Chain A
Amino acid sequence: MIDDSRPIYVQIAERIENDIIEGGLLEESQVPSTNQFASFYQINPATAGKGVNLLVDQGILYKKRGVGMFVATGAREKLIKKRRELFFEQYVVSMIHEAEKLGITREELTKMIQKGDKIDE
Chain B
Amino acid sequence: MNPVLKMHMKYKLIWMILPWTTLLFSFAVNLLIAVLVNDKGGLYTGGVASIFIFMFVAGITIPIQTFPFSLGLSVRRKDYFLGMMAVSLIVSAISAAILSIFSFIESDLTGGWGYKIHFFSLLNAFNTNIIWQFGIFFILLTHMCLSGFIIYSIYQRFGRSGMLWLFVLLVLLLTVLSLLFTYFQWWIPIFQWIAHHPNLLVLWILLASCIYAALSYLLLRKAAV
Per the CB under 8 Å rule, do A and B touch in the complex?
Answer: no
Interface residues of B (CB under 8 A from A): none
